[in-house]
Each structure stands twice: as structure tokens, then as C-alpha cells.
Amino acid sequence: MSNIYANSYAIVFVFLCLGVLLPVGALTLGRWLRPHVPSEAKETTYESGNNPFHDSRIQFQVRYYLFALLFVIFDVETVFFYPWAVVYDQLGLFAFVEMVLFITLLALGLIYAWKKKVLRWM
């Protein structure tokens, strides 16, 4: 038991070492192998082919954060719904009741957000 447990952690340790060493090794190796000829065009920010236009440090609308939060909640809801729907026949009534409770709680949250004017773009 002890051996299995400790050995499993040895594998984790090996992966940790690999994870640290691989990028370090690859980047160092690349540095030695590649030619080093800098030019102005090469030093611009990579934007998938577009020319970068203004400073990247701009203020984002903080409102997006609330939408993101709501999105995550309903995204997770869907994630819970799929497996439940797939095995619905075997789970029976109790799982149905549980899901109704779950949706009710989420609906309460939505009502709260709605009344607190989170959904309104101001």
C-alpha cells in the first residue's frame, strides 16, 4: 500500500521535472541553434498578421465581468444537465426533484441579478 502510494507520487514528481525542464531545455536549445538577426519588423507585437495599432493596456468595461460571471453560472448548469439527461431513465424521480431544486436555486440567483439591474446595459 505504502509503496503504491509513494510510487504514484514519484510519477508525479517525474512529470513535474519534465514540465519544468522541457520548456527550459527547448528554449535554451533554440537559442543556441537559431540565427540572431533582429530587425524592427520582427520586434513588433505578434497579432496574427495584423499591424498592432494602439497600447494594449486600455481600460476594459468592468461590466463585462458581471456578464462573464453570469455566463459561467449558466455554463456550469448546462454541464450538469447533460450527464443527467443522458442517464435520466435510470435515475428516476429523485434525481428529477434534485434537478428542479437546482434550477430553482439558479432561477433565484437570476431573479436577484435581474432586480439588481445586472442585466441592464447602462
- The residues binding another protein (CB under 8 A) are 1-2, 5, 91-95, 108, 111-112, 115-116
Please, what is the minimum distance in Å from the beta carbon of residue 120 to another protein?
Answer: 14
Nearer to another protein among residue 22 and residue 103 (C-beta): 103
Supply 84's cell numbers. Answer: 443527467
Please, what is the minimum distance in Å from the beta carbon of residue 89 to another protein?
Answer: 13
Distance from C-alpha of 115 to C-alpha of 120, rounded to nearest angstrom: 10
Nearer to another protein among residue 1 and residue 27 (C-beta): 1
Please state the separation of Cα 97 from the chain's center in Å: 30
Nearer to another protein among residue 21 and residue 108 (C-beta): 108
Question: Which DSSP symbol is given to 42?
Answer: G
Please, what is the minimum distance in Å from the beta carbon of residue 93 to another protein?
Answer: 8
Distance from C-alpha of 6 to C-alpha of 2, rounded to nearest angstrom: 6
Length of the chain: 122
